[in-house]
Amino acid sequence: MSSSSAPVPVRQTARASLLLLAYLAFISLGLPDGLLGVGWPSIRSEFTVPTEAVGLLLTSGTVGYLVSSVVAGFSIARLGVGWLLAGSTALASLALAGYAASPALPSMIGCALLLGLGSGAIDAGLNAYAADAFGPRHMNWMHACFGLGVAAGPMIMTTVLGADLAWRWGYGIVAAAQAVLALAFVLTVGIWTRRPPAPAAAVPVSAPPDGSTVAAAAVRSPESSPGETLPPGSSPAASLPAGAPPGAPVVGPVGEEAALAGGEPGLATEPRPAAPAAAEPVRIRETLTRPAVWFGAATFAVYVAVEVAAGLWAFLLLTTGRGMTPAAAGFCVSAYWGSLFLGRVAQGLLAERLGTRPVLLGGMVGMAVGSGLVAVPGPAWLAVTGLAVLGFAAAPVFPLLTLTTAERVGRRHADRAIGVQIAAAGLGGALIPSGFGVLIGRASVEALGPALLVASLVMLALHRASDRRGTAARRPGVRPDPAA
């Protein structure tokens, strides 16, 4: 195959470097969350503040996270994902160093805002890049690494405090690790350049028998939104191998090149037409007026709310509502988070075999089943089983929703939509579980299960609404309403 007929793939070594950095970055995202839980009693004691003052840190960090995740989605095209990740990781390192050096709580609150700004941009930037460059397996594994970070944070702080060192050392260690990661992003800025878009479908596309140009209406550009077509007069002929006769199959990369580009080895793929010389920039208003963007954002918000609320209130349900001992209930809550991690590792492989759509839908349905088991009044083991089912089923939902964003909103809007989705996820995870707490306080802890079930069903409905456009676009001859 001539080099002109295939997209330029990311080299194996460069791809391995990007995957390693992506995994490490998601581990680093989870570390501060784990540090605070163990370190807060020592911090509160040193600063002589009440226990509930931790809410000030969390609120400040959430505000920064929401702002930066949205801004990052709209800034990737201008800054480049490499520089965005380098700058954001450096900012997170600076914020954690500020934690370690804070003389009082107010300065720590300011550092929490900076940490939120850095973390939100890392989250949105990496998710946007991975949705375009990585497959479902690595997308799931990348998010599983966040769980490793959350688990490692408490161990780092526990080790520090167990060695009779101040809590500041825990934050200093993680700040140093973040600084090294930021340097790694700086050194690899060049290889974070986006590769050509992944093929739309792994099927051969043949030219007409007479050798004429393929009808423009039958060829969809990977750069276009779902349902958009190449302009009249455009031809995928550039994708034909050199010297190919008229009527020969139009193919994309095969073998190793296809695997690196995101396709299946040995399968011919839909051509990637050359981008116009002067692509017209997509206006922000055009992205924000697409209903699929907001349905998708709402889906993320409700999903994260279910995940967080189950982990937050399960201990209370199992002890107060189902009569378990605190030690046993604590182990079961840990098992819930463990099932989320294991589910992402296992279902990343499953999604590559079965495809993202059935695994994503199965995960959402499984969340409803698990929530239903939690909602059924009965012995403690029934609720524990429901939590395990819920955690394992929820595992692939966030990464696969992110991975399929371009299918719902169009590739040109995907970066911005992912930024909005990440912000909505943070907002939903902060507000809705608090609402569950109000409901539990006014009713009883047994209200948790029904609330999780209702939220899971709402999430399914929202996903169906956001996915409708993509489904219509995949049907031959169907062109979705441009308003969506």
Residue 85 to residue 381: CA distance in whole angstroms: 44
Spatial distance between the Cα atoms of 179 and 399, rounded to a whole number of angstroms? 26
Q: Which residues of 351-384 are buried (b: 16+ CB within 10 A; e: fewer)?
A: bbeeebbebbbbbbebbbebbbbbbeeeebebbb
Residue 484 pLDDT class (50, 70, 90 cuts): very low
Where does the pLDDT of residue 167 fall: very low under 50, low under 70, confident under 90, or very high at 90 and above? very high
Map residue 337 onto helix, strand or coil. Answer: helix
- The residue from 163, 192, 221 where one domain ends is 192
Domain annotation covers residue 205? no
If one compares 148 and 116, the residue with the highest pLDDT of the two is 116
Residue 279 lies inside a defined structural domain of this protein: no
Mean pLDDT of 452-475: 78
Q: What is the pLDDT of residue 247?
A: 41
Cα angle for residues 83, 88, 91 (degrees, 5° grid): 130
Using one digit for the tens of pLDDT, what is the confidence trace for 411-461?
788 878 888 888 888 888 878 887 888 888 888 889 999 999 999 999 999
Q: What is the pLDDT of residues 362-374, one digit of tens each?
A: 999 999 999 999 9
Same-domain status, 292 and 161:
no
User: 240-249, 392-401, 406-415, 430-439: which range is least confident on average?
Assistant: 240-249
Residue 215 within any structural domain of the chain: no
CATH of the domain at 40: 1.20.1250.20
pLDDT in tens, 183-242: 988 888 887 765 444 444 333 433 444 444 333 333 333 333 433 433 333 433 334 444
Q: Does residue 268 lie in a domain region?
A: no
DSSP 255: T
Q: What's residue 261's pLDDT?
A: 39
Q: Are residues 297 and 443 in the same domain?
A: yes
DSSP string spanning 86-128?
HHHHHHHHHHHHHHHH-SSHHHHHHHHHHHHHHHHHHHHHHHH
Kindly state whether residues 25 and 132 are assigned to the same domain.
yes
**CA-based nearest residue to 170, from 296, 43, 72, 286:** 43
Amino acid letter, residue 219? V
Judgement on whether residues 180 and 303 belong to the same structural domain of the protein: no
Q: Is the pLDDT of residue 180 over 60?
A: yes
Per residue in 86-126, pLDDT tens? 898 999 999 999 999 999 999 999 999 999 999 888 888 88
Q: What pLDDT is recorded for position 308?
A: 83
The b/e string for 207-232 (b: 16+ C-beta within 10 A; e otherwise) is beeeeeebebeebbbbbbbbbbebee
User: What mean pLDDT comes out for the span 257-280?
Assistant: 41
Q: Kindly report the average pLDDT of the chain as a whole number.
A: 75
> Does 302 lie in the same domain as 154?
no
- Tell me the residue range of the domain where 436 lies: 284-474
In this predicted model, what pLDDT tens digit does every residue of 14-70 receive, in sequence order? Answer: 777 788 888 888 888 888 876 886 788 889 889 998 877 877 887 888 888 888 887
Instruction: Show Cβ contacts of residue 423 under 8 Å, excluding neighbours closer than 6 positions.
Output: 65, 66, 67, 69, 70, 120, 124, 297
Asked if residue 202 is part of any domain, the answer here is: no
Distance CA 117, CA 139 (A): 23
Question: Given this model, what pLDDT does residue 252 score?
Answer: 39
Examine the fold and report which residue of 169, 192, 215 is the final residue of a domain before the chain moves on. 192
pTM: 0.63
Note every long-range contact of 42-48, with CB atoms under 8 Å and residues 24 or more positions apart, other chains counting. 42/161, 42/166, 42/167, 43/108, 43/167, 46/167, 47/104, 47/105, 47/108
Higher pLDDT, 434 or 342: 342
Enumerate residues 6+ apart whose C-beta is below 8 A from 292: 408, 409, 417, 466, 469, 470, 484
Domain boundary among 162, 192, 222: 192
User: What pLDDT, on the 0 to 100 scale, is given for residue 243?
Assistant: 43
Residue 31 in any domain: the answer is yes
- CA-to-CA dists, residue 303 to 333, 391, 462, angstroms: 18, 12, 10
pLDDT at 11: 60
Q: In the chain, how many domains are there?
A: 2
